[in-house]
Amino acid sequence: MKDKKNDLLQGTLDLLVLKSLALGPLHGLGVSDRIKQITQGTFQVKPGSLFPALHRLEEAGWLKSSWGESENNRRAKYYRLTKAGQRQLKIETDAWQRISVAISSALEAT
Amino acid sequence: MPFLPRVKSLRRNLFNKEDVDHELNEEIRAHLDLLTETKIKQGLSPEDARRAALVELGGVEQIKESVREVRHGRLLEDLAQDARYAVRSLRKHPGFTFVAVLTLALGIGANTAIFSVINAVLLRPLPYANADRLVLLTETVSERPIGVSYPNFVDWRNQSTTFENIAAVRHRDSFNLTGAGESERLQGRLVSANFLSTLGVNPIAGRDFVAEDDRPGAAPTVILSHALWQRRFGGDQKIIGSQLTLNRQSFTVIGITPAEFQYGPDADVTVPISSQAERYAARGRDPGIETVARIKPGVSVEAANAELNTIAARLEQQYPESNNGHRVRLDSLREATVGDIRPTLLTLLGAVGLVLLIACANVANLLLARSTRRQKEIAIRTALGAGRRRILRQLFTESVLLAIAAGVAGLILALVGTSLLCSYLPEDIPRIREITTDAPVLVFTLAASLLTGVLFGLAPALQTSKPALTETLKEGERNSSPGHNRTGKILVVTEVALTLVLLIGAGLLVKSFWRLMQVDPGFNPENLLAMQIAVNANPDEGPRVANFLDQLQQRVRQTPGVQSVAISNGLPFESANQPAFVIEGQAPAEPGKEPNGILYIVSPDYLETLQITVMRGRTFSAHDTPGTTPVALIDEVFARQYFPNQDPLGKRLRQAGSNTEYREIVGIVRHVEHTNLEGRSAERGEIYTAFNQIPVDRLPRFVRRVNLLARTTVDPLSLAQSVRGQIAALDKDQAVFNVRTMEQALSRSVAARRFSMILLSEFATLALILAAVGIYGVISYSVAQRTREVGIRMALGAQTTDVLRLIVRDGLKLVVIGVLVGLAGAFMLSRLLTTLLFGVTPTDTLTYATVALVLVGVALAACYIPARRAAKVDPLVALRFE
């Protein structure tokens, strides 16, 4: 269901989607496969979360979509990063790294 | 975020909704295909692959809904959709919609109407520039207010520094307008030259008075009211500078007041007070002058008050004879104008507020009953991916839409109601002409509507949107949600309690009024015609006046239908002098505590005509003339107050001041209520002296306003015309005014009470009807729910009366709880009514009991109808019912 996720999780998903598209355009299934791949299977994004995320990022102007052909000549909707999306990816990556360093050191503190 | 893409996507989302939806469908289908393909590659058969893909995809509709959620314009789109849907759903149930809108419209309309009165009378500043700096100055003697004496006013004005202006005004002076056209009686006011400028009012034509106009011996000038100017002179500008004959004296018209200008009683003409200076020259006299002042900016009321009282203390030392104990009181003009009416209006606002709450409870109940029928629809919507918030929003949209429709209808009702209210309102309620439906009123209506919408929508919406998906879908048509009935019952209890509070309030007012009507005014007001005449005479015309009054009485007495006739200076329910007296042989009283009483100067037939009982001694006779021993009558109150434990008969008293003669008390009469029926004048005694004993040379001073009274054998007003005819035959220029019966005068004195009583009773009745409908609704609903149960009971041998009792008992339980809560509420709230009550305590047991019984009776009837329906149930039908 569409229960509101907490901001951290939603932010993480957005970041992963942006990251997955950093190398080039992908369709929805491609995005979720790529996320699974780059997170070594930790994140398996279900369509119920994936599509809202893609559309949310598109509404925000970070992604742009267009119809294209898949490798098996199937019609599919492809997403790619916009300029703003690339900037956003940079911003979120930096922010995430700061947080992750902070949290790690906090957890390692004795 | 970039702005332009957002706007673009908003436009796309809102206006190309179908394209967007279609694309989303496509996207998801493509996704599914891709997924299936992947599964096939992994080695599944096409069917298994498809199934696995579908499982992995999850609920398509829910995905679509959650994608829609994140789109721009979602809120707007939802709102439009909700509104459209709400309109459709309301139109599908015109009966429900009509009843709900009507109920709420009555509540909102009544609130708006009362609020527009309150807004105009209590909330809006007085219609003068910087009205918050205007105060009324009242001269007091040991805290008791008296009129301001003119020389004191002049000294206050000249010696004070904290005021921009102090102005004097004397209301209700009358003028005979003669000359061109019909002679006419005009209402006038005498003012100091700075009266209009103190209020910050400028004439719309001509000029204001200047100090030179307000000097003894100045050329007489007059400012006309807008109304008189229009009515009598057709709004002709050339009237400025022309001459008018008022009281046989020529006045120059110098200005016109603005149409909207109002201060105190209406006046056609405004004249400088110095034109009558000789009447007001004495410092010890109380000629009924009112002083209104404007405090300088930045000066506090306290400072002004302190300074004025210092001046008063100085005057006291300077003029001990007349100013002993005299002080000044400051009241804000606004408080002085509207302070008295505030409790009444606030009570009415409270009452309509309760009515609106009851209306809300009723509509909430209607919605609840309806929502049970909608459970399935809601469940389906939930299954299709609508979240609880989404459903709540939908339900609230419906309520608010209902409320706004009701607000519009209520506004129309209020417009009608306000004009109706204004014609109902007693004339002496201040500022009623300022009542309009302006922006604050509209804002109030809107706020009331929205609040109402949320209020009555809340419980049903929470109830309905409760996610109980599977149960509801399983239940199908056979639904019985215990939650609904509990909420409905709470609503009914609330309604009953609120209604009882209102009914008790109304009951107390009704009883007060009834008590008031039982008060014996001390004279017989039936078949008593009263009118006023003003005789204009120069000081040397005494004999002519005496002759005129004689002839007048004789002629009127000869009019068929007239039994007896009297004239008087001073009349109950009218103004009268209240001078201080000196009683022979009694030690001089402390300052401010001198014996005083209401003075009536009357013709010999006065007591007989009014049928005032003479308790001891004699009344006046034709033998009491200027030559014989001066005599006086006193009433029982005066006798008790100033002659305790002694016989007043034969004692002598005189009016305070120099140059007055002692009069012998020859009789004691019944006390007469003077200002109203509420006994506030009971502590003030009354004194009668004889018109016939006024020396002829002083007579003209006493006839500026004379009451003519006629006891009739037929309807008094039917004789008004012939009496007027008799007077005109005697002197065609003699204006007659204020023609009324004493019953009318009496009824006018209770008009404000009657008004609040009638209005509160109407609101209470409305509440009672609404509550009855509410009870009926809830019981009907529970009967419908229990049809099966009733059928089983009857099949098992229950009798009609058993079923009746079962249902009625259920309803009655709610009513009794409501009544108990209401009684407690009324017990606490009714003391707020204390100032409006007369002769009854706020916790009058009889009223409480009667009202509670009435309410229970009505509630019983409301339960009985559905109960009888239940009792008529055919067990066979009932068992097959579901």
Whether A77 sits inside 8 A of B37 (CB atoms) is no
Strand B528-533, strand B144-146: pairing: unpaired
The CATH number of residue A75's host domain is 1.10.10.10
A4 touches chain B (CB under 8 A): no
* Tens-place pLDDT, residues B621-646: 888 988 899 999 999 999 998 998 88
In a domain, A38, yes or no: yes
Range with the poorest average pLDDT among B465-479, B575-589, B602-616: B465-479
Of the pLDDT bands very low, low, confident and very high (cuts 50, 70, 90), residue B71 is confident
Residue A99 lies in a domain: yes
In a domain? residue A2 = no
Tell me which of B574 and B74 has the higher pLDDT: B574
Identify the residue with better confidence: B161 or B875: B161
Give A88 to chain B, closest Cα distance, Å. 10
> When comparing pLDDT for B286 and B479, which is higher?
B286
The minimum CA-CA distance between A101 and chain B, rounded to whole Å, is 28
Res B875 pLDDT > 90: no
Decide if A77 touches B, using CB distance below 8 A: yes
Dihedral sign from CA coordinates of A24, A30, A36, A40: negative
**Contact between B446 and B115 (Cβ < 8 Å):** no
pTM: 0.73
Q: Is residue A96 part of a domain?
A: yes
CA B297/CA B132 separation, integer angstroms: 10
Any CB–CB contact under 8 A between A74 and chain B? Answer: yes
- State the Cα–Cα distance between residues B497 and A13, nearest whole angstrom: 55
Respond yes or no on whether ipTM tops 0.85.
Answer: no
Mutate to test the interface with B, among A34, A55, A65 (most CBs of B within 10 A): A55
Structure tokens at A24: 């080039």
Which residue is associated with the tokens 């009733």?
B790
Pick from B97-111, B278-292, B392-406, B631-645: least confident: B278-292
**Domain presence at residue A32:** yes
Q: Do B30 and A55 touch (CB under 8 A)?
A: no
Distance CA B445, CA B411 (A): 7
Asked whether residue B479 carries a pLDDT value surpassing 60, the answer given is no
| Strand pairing report for B290-295 and B163-178 | antiparallel
Query: Which residue does chain A place closest to B54, by CA atoms?
Result: A47
Neighbours of B435 (CB within 10 A): 22
Q: Does A61 touch chain B (CB under 8 A)?
A: yes
* Shortest distance, CA A85 to any CA of chain B (angstroms): 10
Q: How far is B815 from chain A (nearest CA, A)?
A: 43
Has residue B396 got a pLDDT over 90?
Answer: no
* pLDDT category of residue B478 using cuts at 50, 70 and 90: very low
Q: Which residue has the higher pLDDT, B10 or B677?
A: B677
pLDDT of residue A8: 60
Question: A105 CB near a chain B CB, below 8 Å?
Answer: no
Rounded to an integer, the average pLDDT of B197-224 is 92
Q: Is A76 on the interface with B (CB under 8 A)?
A: yes
Q: Which of B2, B27, B65 sits opposite A2 (nearest CB)?
A: B65
Chain B partners within 8 Å of A1 (Cβ): 62, 66, 385, 387
Predicted confidence band at B471 (pLDDT cuts at 50, 70, 90)? low
Largest CA distance in chain B: 140
Q: What is the mean pLDDT of residues B642-666?
A: 87
- Residue B201 and residue B621: Cα distance in Å, rounded? 52
- Distance to chain B for A97, nearest Cα, Å: 23
Report which secondary-structure segment, H or E, holds B570.
none
Q: How confident is the model at residue B185 (pLDDT cuts 50, 70, 90)?
A: confident
CB B278 within 8 A of CB B565: no
- The amino acid at B803: V
Q: Which of B1, B70, B72, B389 to mutate to test the interface with A (most CBs of A within 10 A)?
A: B70
Burial class (CB in 10 A: 0-12, 13-18, 19+), B324: middle
B327-345 mean pLDDT: 88
Residue B876 tokens, joined:
């066979």
Closest residue on chain A to B33 (Cα): A74
More confident residue, B728 or A10: B728
Does position B796 have pLDDT exceeding 90, yes or no?
Answer: no
Considering only CA atoms, which of B236, B254, B235 is closest in space to residue B244?
B254
B789, with CB counted inside 10 A (0-12, 13-18, 19+), is middle
- Residue A55 to residue B71, Cβ atoms within 8 A: yes
Confidence of residue B193 (pLDDT cuts 50, 70, 90): very high
Instruction: Give the model's pLDDT for residue B58.
Output: 80
Write down the pLDDT at residue B618.
92
Within-domain flag for A1: no
pLDDT in tens, A95-104: 888 888 988 8
| Among candidate residues B522, B528, B530, the one with its CA nearest the CA of residue B707 | B530
Q: How does pLDDT run across B217-268, given as a tens digit for each residue?
A: 889 999 999 999 998 888 888 999 999 988 888 999 999 999 888 888 889 9
Give B2's pLDDT tier (boundaries 50, 70, 90): low
- Give the residue from chain A lying closest to B5, CA to CA: A61
Q: Which of B614-623, B661-670, B700-709, B761-770 has the lowest mean pLDDT?
A: B700-709
Q: How many CB pairs under 8 A join A and B?
A: 79
Which of B22, B34, B469 to mutate to probe the A interface, most A CBs <10 Å? B34
Neighboring chain A residues of B5 at a CB cutoff of 8 Å? 61
The pLDDT of residue B591: 63
**B37 chain-A contacts, CB cut-off 8 A:** 72, 74
Pairwise CB contact (< 8 Å): B33 & A55: no
Q: Is B477 exposed, middle or buried (0-12, 13-18, 19+ CB in 10 A)?
A: exposed
pLDDT of residue B25: 85
Q: Which range marks the domain in which residue A102 is found?
A: 7-108
Residue B314 has pLDDT above 90, yes or no: yes
A91 in reach of chain B (CB within 8 A): no
pLDDT band at B481 (very low <50, low <70, confident <90, very high): low
| Higher-scoring residue by pLDDT: B409, A10 | B409
**Interface touch B63/A51, C-beta < 8 Å:** yes
pLDDT at B480 over 60: no
- Rounded to a whole number of angstroms, the distance from the CA of A66 to the nearest CA of chain B is 11
pLDDT, average across residues B750-768: 87
Q: Which residues of B touch A55 (CB under 8 A)?
A: 67, 70-71
The pLDDT of residue B469 is above 60:
no
Average pLDDT on B666-688 reads 83
pLDDT at A3 over 50: no
Mark yes or no for CB contact A51/B385 under 8 Å: no
Of the candidates A48, A77, A84, which has its C-beta nearest B30's C-beta? A77
Poorest-pLDDT segment among B83-97, B297-311, B581-595, B641-655: B581-595
- Higher-scoring residue by pLDDT: B413, B485: B413
What is the C-alpha to C-alpha distance for residues B294 and B129, in angstroms, rounded to an integer?
A: 10
DSSP conformation class of B237: G
A83 touches chain B (CB under 8 A): no
* Confidence check: pLDDT of B477 > 50: no
A37 touches chain B (CB under 8 A): no
Residues of chain A with C-beta less than 8 angstroms from the C-beta of B1: 60-61, 84
Residue B19, pLDDT > 80, answer no
At B817 the pLDDT is 94
Residues of chain B with C-beta less than 8 angstroms from the C-beta of A51: 24, 27-28, 31, 63, 66-67
Residue A77: list chain B partners with CB under 8 A.
23, 26-27, 30
Residues of B in contact with A72 (CB under 8 A): 37
**Option in B27, B30, B70 nearest A59 (CB):** B70
Q: List the A63-69 sheet strands across, edge first.
A: A26-27, A75-81, A63-69
Q: What percent of chain B has pLDDT over 90?
A: 32
> What's the CA gap between A22 and A24, in Å, rounded?
6
Residue B525, pLDDT above cutoff 70 = yes
Query: Contacts of residue B62 in chain A, CB cutoff 8 Å?
Result: 1-2, 48
Mean pLDDT to the nearest integer, B476-483: 50
Whether residue A29 and residue B38 make contact (CB cut-off 8 A), yes or no, is yes
- Comparing alpha-carbon positions, the chain B residue that sits nearest to A77 is B27
Query: Is it the case that residue B482 has pLDDT exceeding 70?
Result: no
Please check the confidence at residue B873 and state whether its pLDDT lies above 80: no
Q: How would residue B115 be classed by pLDDT, with cut points 50, 70 and 90?
A: very high
> What percentage of chain A carries pLDDT values higher than 70?
90
Q: How many structural domains compose chain A?
A: 1
Q: What is the pLDDT of residue B749?
A: 82
Q: Give first-to-last CA distance, chain B, whole Å.
A: 58
What value does the mean pLDDT of chain B take? Answer: 85
